[in-house]
Structure 1
């Protein structure tokens, strides 16, 4: 009888179908790249988030000028216009239009129409020995400002 039970046990083990190998674990999801937050009370300085260095320079750039000093940081179609008297700046949403050699962003903010035009060209800020590769004009209400531009670093 013991021999019969042992034989049946061996037959059952031999007839069991092989089990497929376990599915491999999926790779972990990459962590999202997040731009560092701008400290409260400070305007963005046109810096790119890590890993974004190769983004089209006319998506993230700054336009600026002297006499009077002014600065416009641009990310896509959002402008942040600042001056020495208003370093926090004013954020404005505009509409982008591609130009043959640059970009134009139009809109209105607080009842004032604005247009920022940045085109390729050699520009000097007039105060340093620096030469820039973009020429800019910024009209905001009755202000008409001229200056240079550069891709965000």
Structure 2
């Protein structure tokens, strides 16, 4: 397990689990609102390398094997520990959770303001996220 995967918070993992299970448990915590609906969210991950950009309810997912990217429409929902998106990407279910907390990609000197967890088909991926309003810190081109 990498340092990056250890930094995914329990609320973020719970957000994905509830998204996948359709849980409707009532919470008294305030709903996560650190990322506005109109913001573009960029997701980055390593081991394996992947990238996602969510803009206006559409995900563009890129990998080294698919540099042009594949698009998918997503449904956004806010939880108590972060945000979630669900949809279908190239015939596989995709669930994305983004939550607060400092995050390092382990490959650069960048620090990101959000953690990201992705469930794509039967694969679990961890990474970091940022928006224009909440950018990463560190070098522009690591």
| Alignment TM class, shorter chain as reference | 0.5 to 0.7
Does residue 150 in structure 1 map to residue 130 in structure 2?
Answer: yes
The structure whose Rg is larger is 1
Match of 1:77 in 2: 57
Q: Distance in 2 between matches of 1:116 and 1:106?
A: 6
Does residue 136 in structure 1 map to residue 121 in structure 2?
Answer: no
Aligned length: 99
Offset of 1:111 from its aligned partner? 2.8
Match of 2:48 in 1: 68
TM-score calculated relative to the size of structure 2: 0.63
Offset of 1:58 from its aligned partner? 7.0
Moved more, 114-123 or 135-144: 135-144
Secondary structure at the counterpart of residue 94 of structure 1: strand
Q: Contact conserved, 1:114 with 1:139, CA < 8 A, in 2? A: yes
Q: Distance in 2 between matches of 1:147 and 1:118?
A: 9
Cα pair distance change 1:119/1:138, threshold 3 Å: same
Does residue 103 in structure 1 map to residue 83 in structure 2?
Answer: yes
Higher relative contact order at CA 8 Å, sep ≥6: structure 1 or structure 2?
2
- In structure 2, stretches of 5+ residues that fail to align are 1-34, 136-142
TM-score calculated relative to the size of structure 1: 0.59
Offset of 1:144 from its aligned partner? 1.3
Offset of 1:99 from its aligned partner? 1.9
- In structure 1, stretches of 5+ residues that fail to align are 1-54
Q: Distance in 2 between matches of 1:121 and 1:75?
A: 22
- Give the root-mean-square deviation of aligned CA atoms: 2.0
Q: Contact conserved, 1:63 with 1:72, CA < 8 A, in 2? A: yes
Q: Contact conserved, 1:135 with 1:148, CA < 8 A, in 2? A: yes
Cα pair distance change 1:57/1:110, threshold 3 Å: closer
